[in-house]
Amino acid sequence: MSYESPTPPANLPTEIINTLNESDPEQLRDIATYAEALAEHKEREARLEESADQEEVEERPDNLPDDVPAKATVTIKEINDNRYYYWQWREGEKIRSQYKGPVNPDK
């Protein structure tokens, strides 16, 4: 009695298929467990981001420019002895800033 090898999904990259074909049954079971846990983690992250985006829209302050996210905070920067307000927020590993206005508009 002979068994045929399963057909891999068409959208799976060749290097992954080759790695799986070279793996022993125990490794394949570990890969399957990890892949399922990773898929659940990524789906959960996507749901959290989606709900955060929805909250962002609902809680957006009136004076916030369209290109500044609701999670931004106001900071003060001193440049050449003058103080200025800036919107500041994090995008991944980077901190972004956008000019808001002078601290003392009369100066």
% pLDDT > 90, the chain:
21
Q: 20 and 27 in contact (C-beta within 8 Å)?
A: no
- Asked whether residue 19 carries a pLDDT value surpassing 90, the answer given is yes
pLDDT of residue 68: 85
Average pLDDT over residues 33-58: 74
CB burial of residue 54 (10 Å; 0-12, 13-18, 19+) = exposed
Q: What is the pLDDT of residues 2-14, one digit of tens each?
A: 688 889 989 989 9
pLDDT of residue 58: 47
pLDDT band at 54; cut points 50, 70, 90: low
Alpha-carbon Rg of the chain, whole angstroms? 25
